[in-house]
Amino acid sequence: MKKIPIIAIVVGVVLVLSLLALKMKTLAASKIHQVQVSEPVFAKSKDAPAGFDALLKSAVALGSQGELVKARDALRSIMAAYISSPGIGDVQKRLEDLNMKIMLSAINLADETTTREVAAGDSLSMIADEYHTTAEFIKKQNGLSSDVIRPGQRLRIWTGKFSVLIDKSQNLLVLKSNGEVVKSFRVSTGKSNITPVGNFKIINKLVKPTWAHDGKVIPPESPENILGTRWLGFNISGYGIHGTTQPESIGQQATAGCVRMLNNEVEELYDILPVNTEVTIID
């Protein structure tokens, strides 16, 4: 029998907990358990439960027809119902890709988007602050190549509240919107389990950060600067999420306590997350 992808198990469990939390908020703190897994796979398989392949094909067909929200909801249902099934890793990847596509589309969602008409004197940064988002994320949603906006222009704004869950035992970072899983990332956490556990907030953000180490200030361009291309600092001194010059370390407990990501992935996260985003770290 095929092994189950651990990243799919973790994200699937988080998804199930998010759904149950609508009825039972006390389940929000439930622990994510480790299961041995292999790489994500999907194929029509004798090991797959009855109905799994048909449901997935239906969800894929909805996406191909442009019914992105219906396809997303169908994939969420599969994740919840078939979390221990072979092929669930493929479902998870499809769901995450679809989540990102919807976030960056023109689709309006009652609980997660609004439309804002630009008024005289407005700027992207002002509008971003108004909706607790980022100017870069507004630009991506609306296909803007610069910060220039015009009175009367209508902007689509994602209003879902973002949060981050980091599971040290899995070296996994999960991005959520309104409590629903959006996307997951492999990360590195602290050696010997030293990354702190608890609830934190992002309080500062830096592009191409300098690194202060052993009394020296190491510039962003230096190969000795291990912070990579982005920094999202927590409200606990010296800790945060950052990029890397050591991509081979991702997925391991290898840092001095921070959460390390691939540069392209931390750049994606940086553009989405505003200051004051809540971050929860668990063992």
pLDDT at 213: 85
Q: What is the CA radius of gyration of the chain?
A: 20
Q: ∠263-265-266 over CA atoms, to 5°?
A: 65
Mean pLDDT score of the chain, rounded to an integer?
87
The share of the chain scoring above pLDDT 90, in percent, equals 76
For the residues 135-160, what does the mean pLDDT come to?
Answer: 97
For residue 122, give both structure tokens.
């407005």
Higher-confidence residue of 26 and 109: namely 109
pLDDT for 5 beyond 90: no
Q: Rounded CA gap, 99 and 210, in Å?
A: 33
Cβ contact 135:271 at 8 Å: no
Q: Residue 188 carries which DSSP code?
A: B
pLDDT at 73 over 50: yes
Report the C-alpha dihedral over residues 41, 42, 47, 49, rounded to 10 degrees.
130
What amino acid occupies position 168?
K
| 25, 217, 229, 276 from 203: Cα distances, Å | 27, 21, 17, 6
Structure tokens at 230: 């982005």
Half-sphere exposure of 133 (CA within 13 A, CB side): 24
Q: Which of 166-175, 215-224, 241-250, 253-262 has the lowest mean pLDDT?
A: 215-224
The single residue listed with the structure tokens 């990501």 is: 261
- Cα–Cα distance between 139 and 103 in angstroms, integer? 12
Residue pointed to by tokens 């309006």: 108
Q: Is the pLDDT of residue 179 over 90?
A: yes
Burial of 211 (0-12, 13-18, 19+ CB in 10 A): middle
CB 142 within 8 A of CB 104: no
- pLDDT value at 32 more than 70: no
How far is residue 141's CA from residue 130's CA, in Å, rounded to a whole number? 16
CA dist., res. 173 & res. 202, Å (int): 14
Q: Which amino acid is at 213?
A: H
pLDDT higher at 93 or 33: 93
- Rounded mean pLDDT of 114-134? 98
pLDDT for 171 equals 98
For residues 159-178, give the mean pLDDT.
98
Specify the higher pLDDT residue, 44 or 8: 8
In the chain the domains, ranked by start, together with CATH numbers, are 6-103 (no CATH), 113-158 (3.10.350.10), 163-282 (2.40.440.10)
Helix/strand/coil for 257: coil
Q: What is the mean pLDDT of residues 95-121?
A: 96
What's the sign of the alpha-carbon dihedral 224, 226, 231, 235? negative
The residue written with tokens 């009855």 in the block is 50
Catalytic residues: 242, 258
Confidence (pLDDT) at 30: 35
Q: What is the pLDDT of residue 36?
A: 29
Q: Enter the pTM of the model.
A: 0.82
pLDDT-wise least confident of 100-109, 207-216, 259-268: 207-216
Beta-carbon count within 10 A of 171 CB:
22
